[in-house]
Amino acid sequence: MRKKTIIFSFISVIVLTGGYFGYKEYTRKKTDLSHVKAGLSIQSSDLIKEFESDEDAANKKYLPKEDFIIEVTGTIKDIRKDDKGRYTVVLQGDAGTLSSVQCAVDSTHNDAIQALQKGTTVSMKGVVTGFNADELLGSDVFLSRSVIAKD
């Protein structure tokens, strides 16, 4: 009888622990990047050049890992807000081109973004989602979940 109770409690503990971690994983939210250390720091124009010179190699470097966070520094060309209140911070590439780094902002950080000003320099942390080049629109590297990097 005692043996049975021990086995039963043992199985219950395993099932409950498994269930707890399973549920936790299932409902896991994306991490707020402001507390995550960037794996790499780079200037906006250098990042664009890296993709322009070899898009495949750059995709392989930046895309596969979900948690590869980079910090991009550049001059703010524009701060855009769409009709649903979502912000994108646009960092200038080389002067005189339409090329840019488009940082889609983590919406929980909208307040901090409003304090930014065009023409000033900022460092943004985010996850690279890819690159698009167009003869009319220039070359753009896109970042998602972006937040302002603070030292």
Partner 1 sequence: MKKALIILALALSASSVSFSQDKFYTKTGTIFFECTKSPLEKIEGTNNSVTCVLDSKTGNMQFAVLMKGFEFKRALMQEHFNENYVESHKFPKGEFKGQVTNNADINYGKDGEYTAKVKGKLTIHGVTKDVESTGKLSVRGGKIAANAVFQILLSDYDISIPTVVNDKISNTVNIKVDCSLEPLK
Applying CB under 8 A, the residues found at the interface with partner 1 are: 25-31, 59-60, 63-64, 66, 80, 82-84, 86, 88, 90, 100, 102, 104, 127-132, 134, 136-137, 140, 142, 144-145
Give the relative orientation of helices 44-53 and 55-62 as an angle to the nearest 10 degrees: 120
We find the least distance from the C-beta atom of residue 106 to partner 1, in angstroms, to be 9
We find the least distance from the C-beta atom of residue 9 to partner 1, in angstroms, to be 30
Q: Which is nearer to partner 1, 34 or 129 (CB)?
A: 129
123 close to 72: Cβ distance less than 8 angstroms: yes
**Residue type at 117 in one-letter notation:** Q
71 close to 62: Cβ distance less than 8 angstroms: no
We find the least distance from the C-beta atom of residue 12 to partner 1, in angstroms, to be 26
Q: Which is nearer to partner 1, 43 or 129 (CB)?
A: 129
CA dihedral 55, 56, 61, 67 (to 10 degrees): 90
**Distance from the Cα of residue 95 to its chain's centroid:** 25
Q: Which is nearer to partner 1, 133 or 148 (CB)?
A: 133
